[in-house]
A and B are shown apart, each in its own frame.
Chain A
Amino acid sequence: MKVLVAVKRVIDYNVKVRVKPDNTGVDLANVKMAMNPFCEIAVEEAVRLKEKGVASEIVVVSIGPKAAQEQIRTALALGADRGIHVETDEEVQSLEAAKLLKAVVEKEEPKLVILGKQSIDSDNNQTGQMLAALTGMGQGTFASEVVVEGDKVNVTREVDGGLMTVSLNLPAVVTTDLRLNEPRYASLPNIMKAKKKPLDNMSPADLGVDIAPRLSTLKVEAPAARQAGVKVADVAELVDKLKNEAKVI
């Protein structure tokens, strides 16, 4: 069974995000970039499926600038077999990313497509569901467990009230939540080996997809800062303040 994993290059999750003074966006100059954490979980899940003998080949795809090759190489070092880089310097929004991935799905015909549930930059939580709709596949979003059985996959999903399990016909789309697995680190020998793994390069035009954005960002601002309040001496003073000053109990 072939598994396709999509990964995104984003700001490293440890980096403090700063809004540009001209309010056009977030300052990404000289900032550490990395694979989106939910995408790391997606790669890990694919690798585990391969280790279990369920997956036979893992293809990793990333859409983005030339530097996104670093994230593809990271995925290859973690155990993916080959990479596809859809290279563009333009901003690619969720719907257009889904259309590009649909074109890749049509070429590769994977049985399972695994994506992160959201990227930590735009926080949209859309691409996997859009890809599933465009390709007519079922979707197991916010997955905490993935079990492939024959021509079905059972996905346990993190939902508001707890957990919900659905059974999907393959091929299907899965988007990962945090508790699905704990991603491994790439070993040095595997990082070296990954450099020799095949990596195809193509453009959105090669895939016949128009990536013109539908949403325009008018401005980006820093959130209103909350002021630190007062320290109270003890619990009695705290309860008194909550009752008589804040009037919330």
Chain B
Amino acid sequence: MSILVIAEHDNSSLKQATLNVVAAAKAIGGDIDVLVAGENCGAVAEAAAKAEGVNKVLVADNAAYGHFLGENLGELVAEVGKGYSHILAAAGTVGKDFMPRVAALLDVAQVSDIMRVESEDTFVRPIYAGNAIATVKSSDSIKVVTVRPTAFDPVAGEGGSAAVEQLDVVKDAGLSQFVNEELAKSDRPDLASAGIVVSGGRGMQNGDNFKMLEQVADLMGAAVGASRAAVDAGFVPNDMQVGQTGKIVAPQLYIAVGISGAIQHLAGMSDSKVIVAINKDEEAPIFQVADYGLVADLFEAVPQLEEELKKVL
């Protein structure tokens, strides 16, 4: 078996999710090649070559891939991937965008968002927002699979020494152009891979109050998230959303503040190692999944939490 992992990156650095996907590839077993498609992405290829268990790094460096447009990546990956038994990518917004195109071009099914590998053709994935877990078997010759990064412990990012090979395949479908992007700038860790996440819900009442959570998060080196209710209410932008329709997180510590615990939120965070809930409603469903629950007014509890953390950190 031979597995092609599509690297997730921003043209300058390799995202950790790639190491999680390589771990999923190791669970399948076989030679693992990594494809880095981007523009001026040499540093990413070097980083990928150091990842544990990688056989070879293929680099497609061209302006056509600079913004990871699904039309162009789809054609590239379908071409490069057709000699492999498996094609894997992280189930982030880039992978979700181009991977189904790859599957369709290869006339194979895609298995989305796997949480576990049972065998080379059988995978475990959540359905119904994580309210059911399905074990599915693919009968296709090439398995196109997106991987939930938080479900796999990453391989080491250092120590490997894979060969790096330049590809001269240029696929510009000519169907789409990049116009612009507005990316949230933050010194905090990436929400999807942070070790600690502090999230706020509708109980925060407005966007300004999220500053309280940011102060607590900065003490702990944590990322800040939000429930869909807080996003829908316009308190914070959608890229902070944790849940079925937002980001799936599984940090060591998840602190839910003023979040009631709707099913769709739980679907995004219930694999966290330790969950803390702070809510004034002791009947809130979030307490049913929390390891430590504090029934309190968040506007008193959060400033106290900041003070207590300053004492111990």
Point out residues on A near B: beta carbons under 8 Å.
11, 16-17, 19, 26, 93-95, 98, 120-134, 136-142, 144, 154, 157-169, 172, 177-179, 213-223, 226, 228-232, 234-236, 238-239, 241-243, 246, 248-249
List residues of B whose CB falls within 8 A of some A CB. 67, 69-71, 74, 92-94, 96-105, 107-113, 122, 126-140, 173-184, 192, 196, 220, 228, 231-232, 237-239, 244-245, 247, 252-253, 270, 273-276, 282, 287-296, 301, 304-305, 308-309, 311-313
In the assembled complex, which residues on chain B have CB atoms less than 8 Å from the CB atom of A137?
175
Flag if B111 contacts A215 (CB, 8 Å).
Answer: yes
Residue A94 contacts which of B110, B184, B220 (CB distance < 8 angstroms)?
B110
Q: B107 to chain A: closest CB distance in Å?
A: 8
Minimum distance in angstroms from A222 CB to a CB of chain B: 7
The reply to whether B129 and A123 contact each other, CB–CB distance below 8 Å, is yes
A231 contacts B287, C-beta separation under 8 Å: yes
Q: With A125-B112, A138-B71 as given contacts, are A216 and B293 in contact (CB-CB < 8 Å)?
A: no
| Chain A at the B interface: SS class | mixed
Partner of A221, one of B132, B183, B252: B132
Asked if residues B289 and A228 are in contact (CB atoms below 8 Å), the reply is yes
Q: Contacts A124-B110, A221-B133 given; indicate if A161 touches B184 (C-beta within 8 A).
A: yes
Q: Is the interface of B mostly helix, strand, loop or mixed?
A: mixed
A17 partner residues in chain B, CB cutoff 8 A = 128-129, 131-132
* Minimum CB–CB distance for A98 against chain B, Å: 6
Q: What total count of A-B pairs have CB within 8 Å?
A: 261
Residues of B within 8 A of A230 (CB): 291-293
**Chain A min CB distance to B133 (Å):** 5
By a CB distance below 8 angstroms, the chain A residues around B105 are 133
Query: Which 7 A-B residue pairs are closest in the complex by CB-CB distance?
Result: A138-B175, A129-B100, A229-B291, A214-B109, A130-B104, A133-B101, A133-B104
Write the nearest CB–CB distance from B22 to chain A, whole angstroms.
Answer: 19
A205 to B70, CA, bound (A): 31
B274 near A220 with CB under 8 A, answer no
Among candidates A128, A130, A219, A223, residue contacting B103 with C-beta atoms closer than 8 Å: A130
B175: A residues at CB distance < 8 A: 136-138, 168-169, 172
Q: Are B140 and A214 in contact (CB under 8 A)?
A: yes
A168 and B180 CA atoms in complex are apart in Å by: 13
Is the CB–CB distance between B181 and A159 below 8 Å?
yes
Nearest Cβ in chain A — how far from B81, in angstroms?
Answer: 14
Contact status B96-A141, CB under 8 Å? yes
In-complex Cβ contact of B239 among A19, A162, A226 (8 A): A162
**Residue in A128, A214, A232 whose CB lies within 8 Å of B138:** A214
Contact indicator B183/A161 (Cβ below 8 Å): yes
Check if B305 sits within 8 Å of A238, measured CB to CB.
yes
